Structure 1
Amino acid sequence: MAVTQRRPGHLLTPRTSYTDCPPDYKFMAELRRPSTPDRAGRSSFSSIRENESVLPQTFTHSKVSSYTGGEEAVDESNSPTESTAPALHMIQTQFQPPVTNPSSKLLGYWSPADSFRGWKQIQVRGKLASKSFGDLQALNQLWANVPAPKVIKDGLNRPGEAPLERLPVEILSSIISLLVLDVPPNGVLRRNVDLMSLLLTSRTVHFATLSTLYSRITIPHSRIFHKFLTHIAAHPTLGTIVRRLDFCHFNPSQLFSTAAERSKARNLTSETLLQCLELTPHLQEFLAQEYLDDDLNTAVLGKIFLGLPRLQAVDFCGCSSDTFRDSFSAIVTPDWPMQLSLRRISLHKCFTLPSSIFETILPRLHRLTHLDVAGTRITDAALASIPATARITHLNLAKCKLLSARGLIDFLATHPAVQELVFLSLATDARSHQLFDADEITALLSVLPPTLKSLSIKGSKMDASHIDQLRPLTKHLEELAVGRSLKLEDINRLFVPDDDDDIEMQVDWVPHTLKYLDLSDFWGSDLDLNYMFSTACAVLRPFSEPLEVVEVAEDVFRRVAKSSAALGRIGWRTSECGRRGWMVRQVNSNGNTTNNVASTTGSAPARDDGRRGWKMGADSWGMRKIPVAQAEVGGMYGSYMFGRQL
């Protein structure tokens, strides 16, 4: 008997009889099972099989007597010409009596025998074709009516559901941050006009734009500061977004020609600066410089160090006025908390601060990572007082005349806080002060950590024996500033193996990783330009790559600048900024070095852009001030980093 089934898709399946099925499915063998203890037999038994010859979800039904005596096949089609199919036996079952009455034959139940292998193990026509309930559920989901997705026409997005607005806030803020302009070309025109337009786009974009616009505040002149202060005073919620106050671009002469005019305007004073700090309780970075030192009184400094619990970075670059010194000395007392939240601190060229300031502050910086005290009165005792829990990666001790060579070597060799240094500057001006002699340099080079990327020992007295100690360092250093008393022939040994080295050493030679080399301690005739431009010197040759920048002294640079044509023929050019001058390897229009022949065909990798995480936003090589915030280089900080001598 054929049965018509209705599938979930409401399609009628064709009627199927046994005469339509393959021969193996026309006949059903007698199905035997043990007699039920409490009953001799049942009236009928229905067998259901999947019909694989037609559409899925159709079945073939047949009825077989449950107590037929013989194994004779039953032909439901009444066709006398069909042959008898092989007998198929039903799975053996067993009767399970109840646990409470094992002798009862009425209350038990039937279960598959121990030999039952599961429904999926039943073979049909020589293959596993049975389906479990889970399979049927999957098929039901496949054929179920799934509602069609709602089609939204282009340009008809509901408010807040545009593709741009559905982006995560972090990604949307990163996109919007690309429109931020810290300083306009002349510092006075309106800034961030594009961001102002985004504020009017939608609520989602408005919120993301506000976060970008107010998270990092750059103040190029006092009128901008007054406008910003007025706005956050009227809307205090905006002040909670601020994470950075950056005054490194501040220049009072843009609006006022004299200090008296600036004071009369009352835009940026110690009172308004303190009010600004009160309205930005979540501030994390405060970047000042020498033009603000008179406004950093005791109230402002007290708020910075003790009133901003989330503050992580401060920079007082160049602040050296008497007002700044007296205010700093007044607030720093032994009563301070034993731990400060600061991680990055720069007192670069704050040479008027007394040594007691450092001996009081440094022991409280348990999470210190960046310390720039170049040109200050820091002492060996202050350095040794840095907590062992600090993890200093950037350390600038250039021109610190109160430090001793022995104290520095012991500090670098034994203190736990400086075992992962990345940037280390111990430079001095050899014309006025010498920190390390040749023997002390030997001891210093032996204790430097392998994590270093930038090392400056400018101003130290060196000799040719130190090249053997510098060679292993050049395999991981990217910046190196050497001292005086060396010859250019000694420097050449950093780039090529010695001629008298054995063959194995020359074969195993590991190339250097230097990008920047400072030879500014080679004064006058100390730098042999004839040798440098010859083929015997490897410094300016193609095989000295990846070396890109060589810094020279002022008088040497003037001589090199007169030979710019000869310099260009070997693939180099001159560059200068302030009182510093460099020879820079040239690149072609594709951004590849001109010395690399393969680069002109496009097969060589593009030139390194100089960006490194440890440089905190700087692209150029040879910075002499440690940045304490991830930002583009500019303003007063750019001058101290790349435009000034030590």
Structure 2
Amino acid sequence: MAGLILPQLFVYPFTSSQVVPMIKKTLAACALVNHTFNLHASPILYQTVAFTFPNTFTLFVNATNDIKKRCSQMVRHLDFSGFSTCGLQKSSFETQKVVTPELLIHILRSFPELKAFSISESLESVITLDVLKVLFLECKSIKTVDFCGCSSKQFSNALSELSNLIGRVKIDQYYDDDDETTISFRMTCKPLLSHLQRLSFHECPVISEYSTIIPLLAHSPNLTHLDLGGCSIRDLTLNFLAETNIPTKLSHLSLAKCKNISSNAISSLISKCSQLETLNLYGGRNTNIVIKEYDLITILRSPSANNFQKLDIGSSQITPLILTTIKENCSSLQNLGISNAQITNLNLIKDLLTALPNLQYIDLSSIPCFNPLSTNCILDSIKNSNHPIHTIEMSESLLKKLYAVDGWKININYGRRWYYSREIQGRTVRPDRVHGRKLDITEYGPRFMSNIFQYYSFDA
């Protein structure tokens, strides 16, 4: 009987149907009840091993040999993204003595079934060539690698050395009679990272496009999730991707805040993607127009358009024609970002909401047609149509002039983003954790993100 009931209780902890609270202490207590409970609780308990402070890392390292005997097949995700020494009065030099490349290599080799690895800026000093060789080349089960906020020269050099080791892409440029440039790419060796499916370099601006990013992409032909948001890439990277088979497999792509890529290169790449569900092209608050109207139409009529569930084209040239194209081609949208849209007619926004029956979130920041009166009109329209939308992101300056009305509350926070939100079917939603700028490539959800990843995703 226990064999039938317990598997239903101890379901995979990152699904929405779990029964047991995903609190480590609760799982640890369950694991101590008896042998049967231990068999079901331990795989969940060790599914993700996350380190927040140096002392927890030290305790884990000291027990690694014992853990390896019992749980080497259970650990799937090593998460260093939340590691921090803030408030501990420890210098970065002291931290480097606690978490060393040698210890990290030992841990990586101890768990052969490891599938995901996450790390942020606080530990980028331990990412050496030796660590990268073990992570990318020895950990054959690894499918997800998530670097975030890493901007040191050492980190950049280590990745460049890895790219040189596995083989780079030969890039040839030709000029025709009209002085137009033709670029060709040639791989000189077979891909070595075919096992990799999800890759993130979110806000890692120091990484070289030519010597690092393109070679790593060339060796990763099976990517489904790719986050290059905030990277210093140019059209060369997008042109390279467009010549590979990667676009046919991508389901999640972020090019947010990439300042050096052209509108045409973006649309050319997206037009070759056939399975995209999440696309983030957010340009930032204070940037010039990122994507022109013509190229936006190309994107919104691409093979993936009807699959889009999350789309952010904020700060692009969003005109009434663009809203019409969204209505005609993107009926599956759940999250939509159109901040800084050049819309002066409120009825266009009302018509857009009516045409998107699955929409739950929309970013209407810095749109000219909104003022206190028109905002109330939108809320009335949503109420009268029973629309399921529960979160509206708006400008701070506007929301400070408004009040709670008809179940809609203003989310007062200390971040840069402000929201109108409401409960849906008695369920309270955290509006500041609905629409992230960083791809959640592990797809565990905001609740299980470290504080540092939450900052980059929702607060930055």
TM-score, length-scaled by structure 2: 0.83
Is structure 2 residue 162 aligned with structure 1 residue 331?
Answer: yes
Match in the other structure for 1:457? 313
Equivalent position to 1:201, from 33, 39, 43: 33
What letter is aligned with 2:301?
A: S
User: Which of structures 1 and 2 has the bigger CA Rg?
Assistant: 1
Q: Shift of the alpha carbon at 1:474?
A: 5.3
Cα 1:208–1:541 shift into 2, 3 Å: closer
Please list, as runs of the form range in 1=range in 2, the aligned pairs for 1:177-196 lying within 5 A after superposition: 178-181=20-23, 192-196=24-28
Q: Shift of the alpha carbon at 1:542?
A: 3.7
Cα 1:539–1:395 shift into 2, 3 Å: farther
Match in the other structure for 1:215? 47
Equivalent position to 2:364, from 516, 519, 523: 519
| In 2: Cα distance, 1:203 partner to 1:210 partner | 10
| In 1: Cα distance, 2:386 partner to 2:9 partner | 43
Cα 1:260–1:216 shift into 2, 3 Å: same
How many residues align? The count is 423
| In 2: Cα distance, 1:439 partner to 1:295 partner | 45
| In 1: Cα distance, 2:323 partner to 2:12 partner | 48
What letter is aligned with 1:629?
A: T
| In 2: Cα distance, 1:226 partner to 1:483 partner | 45
What letter is aligned with 1:344?
A: R
Q: Shift of the alpha carbon at 1:511?
A: 5.7
Deviates more, 1:201-210 or 1:269-278: 201-210
What letter is aligned with 1:381?
A: N
Is structure 2 residue 103 aligned with structure 1 residue 272?
Answer: yes
What letter is aligned with 1:519?
A: L
* Partner-residue secondary structure (3-state), 2:350: coil
* Partner-residue secondary structure (3-state), 1:472: helix
What letter is aligned with 2:88?
A: L
Equivalent position to 1:573, from 405, 409, 413: 409
Q: Shift of the alpha carbon at 1:494?
A: 4.0
Cα 1:359–1:204 shift into 2, 3 Å: same
Which one has the bigger helix percentage?
Answer: 2
Pairwise CA RMSD? 3.0
Match in the other structure for 1:552? 394
| Conserved? CA contact 2:227–2:438, under 8 Å | yes
| Conserved? CA contact 1:393–1:423, under 8 Å | yes
Match in the other structure for 1:407? 265
| Conserved? CA contact 1:281–1:308, under 8 Å | yes
| In 1: Cα distance, 2:92 partner to 2:76 partner | 29
What letter is aligned with 1:310?
A: S
Is structure 2 residue 347 aligned with structure 1 residue 475?
Answer: no
Cα 1:342–1:609 shift into 2, 3 Å: farther
Match in the other structure for 2:181? none
| In 2: Cα distance, 1:390 partner to 1:570 partner | 45
| In 2: Cα distance, 1:497 partner to 1:307 partner | 50
Match in the other structure for 2:58? 226
| Conserved? CA contact 1:574–1:581, under 8 Å | no
Deviates more, 1:203-212 or 1:171-180: 171-180
What letter is aligned with 1:307?
A: E
* Partner-residue secondary structure (3-state), 1:377: coil
* Partner-residue secondary structure (3-state), 1:333: helix
Match in the other structure for 2:75? 242
Match in the other structure for 1:367? 222
Match in the other structure for 2:249? 391
Match in the other structure for 1:350? 204
Is structure 2 residue 274 aligned with structure 1 residue 436?
Answer: no
What letter is aligned with 1:281?
A: P
Match in the other structure for 1:629? 442
Per-residue deviation, residues 325-367 of structure 1 (Å, max 9, x unmatched)? 1111111126355141111111100111000212111122222
| Conserved? CA contact 1:487–1:527, under 8 Å | no
Q: Shift of the alpha carbon at 1:526?
A: 5.9
Match in the other structure for 2:4? 167
| In 1: Cα distance, 2:9 partner to 2:392 partner | 41
Is structure 2 residue 458 aligned with structure 1 residue 642?
Answer: yes
Cα 1:474–1:489 shift into 2, 3 Å: farther
Cα 1:342–1:521 shift into 2, 3 Å: farther
| In 2: Cα distance, 1:620 partner to 1:488 partner | 29
| In 2: Cα distance, 1:219 partner to 1:322 partner | 24
Match in the other structure for 2:184? none
Q: Shift of the alpha carbon at 1:284?
A: 0.5
Cα 1:365–1:390 shift into 2, 3 Å: farther
Q: Shift of the alpha carbon at 1:450?
A: 0.5
| Conserved? CA contact 1:454–1:479, under 8 Å | yes
Match in the other structure for 1:283? 114
Q: List runs of 5+ in structure 2 lacking aligned partners.
A: 168-189
Match in the other structure for 2:144? 313
| In 2: Cα distance, 1:299 partner to 1:536 partner | 56
Q: Specify which structure has the bigger relative contact order, considering alpha-carbon pairs within 8 angstroms and separated by 6 or more residues.
A: 2
Per-residue deviation, residues 490-542 of structure 1 (Å, max 9, x unmatched)? 5x3243499xxxxxxxxxx85632211112233xx663223222x48866644
What letter is aligned with 1:201?
A: V
Q: Shift of the alpha carbon at 1:429?
A: 2.7
Equivalent position to 1:260, from 90, 93, 111: 93
| In 2: Cα distance, 1:438 partner to 1:211 partner | 50
Cα 1:624–1:430 shift into 2, 3 Å: closer
Q: Shift of the alpha carbon at 1:609?
A: 6.7
What letter is aligned with 1:252?
A: T
TM-score, length-scaled by structure 1: 0.60
